[in-house]
Structure 1
Amino acid sequence: MSAYKSKAVATWTALLLGSFGLHRFYLHGFSDRLAWLHPWPTLIGLYGVQRMGQLGQDDRLAWVLMPILGLMLAQAMLCGIVYGLTPDERWNAQRNPGQAPRASGWGTIIGVIACLMIGGTVLMTTIAFSAQRYFESQVEAAQAISQ
């Protein structure tokens, strides 16, 4: 019999370290190929943040890399929301077959609320950040043509 997989732990793992795939490692083990793909885009996005800090806002590569981090954070928050809102009966049937069912508590609900707040903020920020850079590049191109 495998270890019990807690819905609250899965939700909070997605919230805190989901962009690195730790929620998938928790649920599926170290043989999960999708979990191993999570750290790379996250690290690429963090590299973009580092470049922006070192080279300033005019670094075009940083503008391309940073939204990748935002998307990884947003998808991790979405996973936390899905885990937390899965009905207890379905969760236990999928993740804990043959074990005594356990009800989720307030920890799961608070985790879902935190995922909603952080995920919404990250997603809106990523969209605004990308749109701002796109429109700035269009203005720069129009100014270059007019000169």
Structure 2
Amino acid sequence: MKPKKERKQKQAITIDYENQKLSIIYFLPLLLIAGFVPLIVYGKYVDLEGTTQALYWTGQRQYLDFFSYWKSVWLVVLTAIATIFYIVLYKQKKLPFKNLKQYYIPLGIYAIFVIISTIFAIDTQTALWGFVDMYQGMFVLLSYVLITFL
């Protein structure tokens, strides 16, 4: 009679960093993204030109955006800062690399298609920064991917 093979149970991912507390520097940009960015309400006049005016024409030459523009800018900036902090902490061996291929492969494929889509876009400005009142262009979409990774 053959012995039954024991199945390896998948264990929850744990971060073993020798019982050291992670620096607040790592968490601060992520906390600001989650807690500060949704509260941003600041007016920005956007000139409606070219493709934007043709597709979003409401009879005016400028659009006053209170919600989306500055949120997208701060999202990209804080994501870049969080990524830099992650890299620094990883290089100092204070933060491990989480090996989650089942998530990273689809995210990587998505990021590649976002970049390819931007390269072949007719209106590069809109592809990079997003459309009026949305501002979810390539930089914001790649920021979402990086936030998921962080």
TM-score after normalising by structure 1: 0.32
By relative contact order (CA 8 Å, sep 6+), the higher-ranking structure is 1
- The structure in which a higher percent of residues are strand is 2
